[in-house]
Structure 1
Amino acid sequence: MAKHSVQRKRKKTSNGFSFGSAVVLVLCFIGVSFGLYLWQAAFSIGQTTPTVDDDDFRPTIGEPPYRIVIDAGHGGSDPGARGVVQESEMTAATAEALNAWLERDPNYIPLTTRESYDSTAKPAERAAAANAQDPDLLLSVHGNSAPEGSSAAGFECYPAVPGRAYHQESYYFAKQLAKAMQAAGASLRGRGGIRYIYYQGEVKQLVESSHKEVRVERSFTILEDVNCPAVLAEQCFVTSDTDVAQFGSEDGCKRTARAYYEAICAYFETTPLPEE
């Protein structure tokens, strides 16, 4: 009897040791896992890497017709840059030709940001006018300029900057614009024709699109204030004879409008109407 009692006691002691060890191991595992989680969370604070990389992102587009705002930069009492052509005249001609393509295509409803190209409206007013029309996309058409004697030329565009609600959609649209303009014969400035603009007071800072950090400075007002994906395009340098001949003259504006139209179609995955 004594022998059996000892055996039972040893068996009980052995089982108690195994259970306790398991509990300790589980608690250690939980502690280490929680520690790693806290470390990862602390490390990620302030990081700006998007959930989906910009180069892999695809927008959710819904069903047509799509409401497209074409904002002709400057106009009225604001002529914009002056050179071989006047910027406001070039943007108006390009916007008119682009709207003609969109009006013919049943997949799109073209919208504008003011009553006429001759009327004056500040960027904030144009953004408000766009928002009132519930747009799916906005393209603001502009022209670039350089000091006398400069040989600057080429296309560049500015999507909504990182950290904004529609940054990834805007960046995706910018890629379609740059691709279409390159196919039309334009040289691309910067990193694939896509850059960001920030204002530090009255000073404008240009940043290449490889800089993904979120910044507090505002970009172009039309991009900041509109409630949809938006890109501002500088289609050519109005101070360059060669650039204007290709993309700023009467025929050049039509060529650019066609490229913009094809970029819009690429964004919404529709088939462009055939060229005449």
Structure 2
Amino acid sequence: MANRHAAPHRKRKSKRKERPLLGTALVLCFCTLAFVFAGFLWQEALRTSTQVPERQTGSDDDFRPQVGDPPYRVAIDAGHGGSDPGARGVVEEKDVTAATASALLQWLEQDSNYIPLQTRESFDVTATPAERAAAARAQAPQLLLSVHANSAANGSTAAGFECYPSVPGRTWHAESFYFARLLASGMQAAGASLRGRGGVRYIYYLENDQKQLVESTHTEVRAERSFTLLEDVDCPAVLAEQCFVTSAEDVERFGSEEGCRKVARIYYEAVCAYFGTQPLPE
């Protein structure tokens, strides 16, 4: 009788010993998985924090374009012209762009560090943006500046400077953005108000051929095209809107004959800063 009762008692005691061991194993397994998962999260966080956003690549103060040795080939495009007056207001846009481009080309012609290029033979010649872009590309420029002036609806008090570099995702975006900042900085120093975030913005053409303006903080790569003069030249390129022809005050400061000469000097100094040369004295 004693032996029959002893065996079942030993089995129950053995089962009670197995349960703590099983619980310990589960805890250890859970801790191991938690440790591995935490390590994965840490690595992902470290990888993400060390990635450089595209805007920082183009706008970081340490960025400098690789320019090689002079002389540098710089293309100057005067917007509109010929039978295309562009925007109309106190003055016509084509007169502002021609006067500014002419004065800028004179500075570049005097400076042995530069070979000035034009997108057409004369400012009186009518040429589409595509034709001017093709003419510029054929001359293999190392930098292009397209000069324009802005306008606003009747009654608007809009004024100020803004410029448009090649958009994110394009080959020369970083260099274009760098040059755009130099242009905006020079205009601001001369007393111009900067539109948007620091005077640098992007333009995209939507499917209905409507233009969409976005600030330079929008660094996502988009499929839509920007200005033809930015897209169809194989070099850093910026389109500058130096003043509003619909603002008498803006025109007086930056769109009159004297104002255009002032802006041309600002543009020339920005070109020199881009390539790292010393500007000629005024």
Q: Where does residue 54 of structure 2 map in the other structure?
A: 49
Distance 1:139 1:53, change over 3 A: closer
Q: Secondary structure at the match of 1:158?
A: strand
Alpha-carbon separation, structure 1, partners of 2:57 and 2:97: 34
**For the Cα contact (< 8 Å) 1:169–1:229, is it kept in 2?**
yes
Please state how far the C-alpha of 1:39 moved relative to its aligned partner: 6.6
Partner of 2:281: 274
Which deviations, in whole Å up to 9, do the C-alpha atoms of 1:31-63 show, x marking residues without a partner?
99xx88x979x989xx96368352242111110
Alignment partner of 1:143 out of 149, 152, 169: 149
User: 2:21 aligns to what?
Assistant: none
Deviation at 1:115, TM superposition (A): 1.1
Q: What is the Cα deviation at residue 190 of structure 1? A: 0.5
Aligned to 1:240: 247
SS in 2 for 1:178: helix
Q: Does structure 2 conserve the Cα–Cα contact (< 8 Å) formed by 1:199 and 1:205?
A: yes
1:62 and 2:68 equivalent? yes
1:158 equivalent among 155, 164, 168: 164
Q: Does residue 211 of structure 2 align to residue 204 of structure 1? A: yes
Deviations 1:43-99, CA, capped at 9 Å, x for gaps: 89xx96368352242111110000000000001121100000100011001000000
Gaps of 5+ in 1: 1-30
d(CA) in 1 for partners of 2:204 and 2:277? 33
Q: How does 1:1-276 map to 2 (within 5 A)?
A: 49=54, 52=57, 54-56=59-61, 57-201=63-207, 202-275=209-282
Structure 1 match to 2:9: none
Give distance in 1, aligned partners of 2:55 and 2:162. 23
Q: Is the 8 A contact 2:58 2:178 kept in 1?
A: no
Provide structure 2 residue ranges, at least 5 long, that are not aligned to the other structure: 1-35
Cα distance change, pair 234–53 in 1 and its aligned pair in 2 (3 A) = closer
Contact kept in structure 2, 1:123 and 1:222, CA below 8 Å:
yes
Between the aligned residues of both structures, percent identity stands at 70
Q: Which amino acid aligns with 2:222?
A: R
- In 1, Cα distance between equivalents of 2:231 and 2:247: 29
| 1:20 equivalent in structure 2 | none
Q: Distance in 2 between matches of 1:55 and 1:237?
A: 30
Quick one: distance in 1 between partners of 2:100 and 2:232?
23
| 3-state SS of paired residue (1:127) | helix
Contact 2:58 2:175 in 1 (8 A): no
Tell me if structure 2 keeps the 8 A contact 1:48–1:213: no
CA distance in 2: counterparts of 1:233 and 1:43, whole angstroms: 35
Structure 1 residues 247 and 53 mapped into 2: Cα distance closer, same or farther (>3 Å)? closer
CA distance in 2, matches of 1:88, 1:53: 31
Between structure 1 and structure 2, the one with the greater Rg is: 2
Listed one character per residue, the Cα deviations across residues 94-153 of structure 1 (whole Å, up to 9, x for unaligned) are: 000000000001111110001110111111111111111110100000000000110000
Give the secondary-structure state (helix, strand or coil) at the position aligned to 2:211.
strand
TM-score computed with the length of structure 2 as normaliser: 0.81
Is contact 2:54-2:168 (8 Å) kept?
Answer: no
Give 1:58's aligned amino acid.
R
Q: Does structure 2 retain, via aligned residues, the 8 Å contact 1:124–1:221?
A: yes
Secondary structure of 1:52's counterpart equals helix
1:10 counterpart residue number = none
